[in-house]
Amino acid sequence: MNKRSASASSTGMFVLLLVLVQPELARAAAFTLPENGDTLVGAVTSLRLAYEDTLAGVAQKYQVGYQELLDANPGVDPWIPGEGTVIKMPTAYLLPDAPRDGLVINVAEYRLYYYPKGGQRVITYPVGVGREEYQTPLLKTKVTGRIENPSWTPTADARREHAEMGDILPHVVPPGPDNPLGNLAIQLAEPGYFIHGTNKPFGVGQMVSHGCIRLYDPHIATLAEMVPSGTPVYIVNQPVKVGWRGADLYIESHRELYAESDRVLFEQVIEKAVAKRQENTASVDWRHLDNVLQDMTGVPVKF
């Protein structure tokens, strides 16, 4: 029998949307949007592992991204973490610096945020993104529809890549277990790009696709029901996020995916966040900042 325990390490009002999956629970976090310009939602939780647990298995069981779980737990062996090992579950998030309108996808943190129209909440899911050679484009676009049981038309590059591995792809891959789009796709106005399910859930939270955005199947099913055509989509790359909860300044640092970021830019992001709270006397410990930027745990750190 698995012996697991979970606990919250900080306060924050949030509710988990639960979707029944055979027989586990797929979790998508829904948060009430904070007031007064605050941008931190959720709370970091912990999980005590059983003997047979791996981080890959935990990521799929609890529907978090694999890379974010690795980053939040440096030094933990992902394949043999050991019975009784307590890991951090990265379930606190600084909202990206983007419009709180529709879908915001931050490729640097492998995460999607959905702001329902007219609501005062945000819903977030882990995602897989494009590989280095097939980068997910950074742009503003919109949702144009949904496709159930989509077929996949692989590009010439994709067919060549599969052929080199001994897998000869047809010009059109029909719906089914071999289709990387899964059972459902949200179509975007940007030609050739989709937000879709997957036949390989291990890839959620990693750089795995040819540029599309991958979700766990229960998550894409829920998201597609909520998101109407015309919903704006903002795809950004923000490896460092800064924000507030009350009088406390938080910084969240992720690995850079597609290009090295300018340290000066990071400093400007932080100074901008501090300047937004003119009544607050918070100052930045730049030495502490260096440590946060180098650790890149993806977990919000209070200054």
Same domain, 27 and 82: yes
Q: How far apart are CA 172 and CA 195, in angstroms?
A: 19
Same domain, 106 and 221: yes
Active site residue 288: no
203: tokens are: 């890839």
Report yes or no on 173 lying in a domain: no
- Tens digits of residue pLDDT in 14-39: 333 333 233 333 455 889 998 888 89
SS (H, E, C) 145-189: EEEECCCECCCHHHHHHHHHCCCCCCCCECCCCCCCCCCEEEEEC
Q: Among candidates 91, 87, 65, 92, which has minimal Cα distance to 5?
A: 87
Report yes or no on 165 lying in a domain: no
Domain residue limits at 199: 102-116+126-148+178-236
Please report how many Cα atoms fall inside a 13 Å half-sphere around the Cα of residue 249, on the Cβ side. Answer: 20
Report yes or no on 161 lying in a domain: no
Q: Among candidates 181, 103, 114, 113, which has minimal Cα distance to 139?
A: 103
- Tell me how many domains the chain contains: 3
Active site residue 212: yes
Catalytic member of 162, 171, 210, 212:
212
pTM recorded for the entire structure: 0.84
Catalytic member of 162, 171, 196, 219:
196
Report yes or no on 283 lying in a domain: yes
Same domain, 30 and 141: no
- Tens digits of residue pLDDT in 170-221: 677 777 787 888 899 999 999 989 999 998 888 999 998 889 999 999 999 9
Same domain, 284 and 214: no
